[in-house]
Amino acid sequence: MPIRIPDWVRYEILHFWEGFQHRTHKTSARAWINTNPRKVTAITAVSVLLLLTTIVLLIPEETMEKQNYEKAWFYDLNTGKLFVANSKLSEPIKAPSGPLPNGEPAGVRAYVFTYVHDPNDSERFIAFLERPDPNADHVSNSSHRSGAQLWSRPRLVRSLEDGQWVPADSDKGQAILKKVLSPNEKGEIAHYCPPE
């Protein structure tokens, strides 16, 4: 004969079960999210802020700093050779060979690039030469100019193959700059090679 559970026990178990379901439904994550949208938004914002702060703190400092080189490459227009000088000098500068026939300094900025990580002399190449535009109205050699003002000066560029100076923002000037930034036949991108 099967055991018969008294009605009052079945009623208590059913009552307990319904209360348990009601309590667990109320405390479930979805129900809590639905009833507290502002708290959820605040917790999400704080979590994202903590994540971004952690990411910024984990980035090594040397990758966040812009590399400023104390020395720069210059090109002697008389001899066609590279030499190294202080990068803060306002070009054109005095070259080892002396001035140009017209009396101007013969040293102009040279941008030397390479495709290898530890290049020797034969693995470096002069991508282009640069100098201020002597015909620009607002070129000044003032040492009180900021970095942005220095880059906004009108500049002339030229490749070694072509002796003609052209404005850097002209079509020819942009073609010279684009050539060095384009991948070579092996798909490699050249990078700047600072002087030692």
What pLDDT does residue 152 have?
A: 53
DSSP type of residue 93? B
What pLDDT does residue 79 have?
A: 93
Assess if residue 2 is contained within a domain.
Answer: no
Q: Are 180 and 190 in contact (CB under 8 A)?
A: yes
Percent residues over pLDDT 70 in the chain: 83
pLDDT tops 90 at residue 9: no
**Whole-prediction pTM value?**
0.58
Same domain, 47 and 75: no
Same domain, 51 and 93: no
The H or E element containing residue 115 is none
Please tell me the total count of domains within the chain. Answer: 2
In this prediction, residues 8-21 reach a mean pLDDT of 80
Q: Who has greater pLDDT, 186 or 107?
A: 107
- From 64, 79, 113, give the residue that closes a domain: 64
Lowest mean pLDDT among 15-29, 79-93, 167-181: 15-29
Q: Who has greater pLDDT, 156 or 10?
A: 156
pLDDT tops 50 at residue 64: no
- From 15, 34, 64, give the residue that closes a domain: 64
Q: Which domain holds residue 133?
A: 71-192
- From 26, 48, 64, give the residue that closes a domain: 64
The H or E element containing residue 194 is none
Residue 96, both tokens: 């080892």
In this prediction, residues 148-171 reach a mean pLDDT of 79
In this prediction, residues 166-195 reach a mean pLDDT of 87
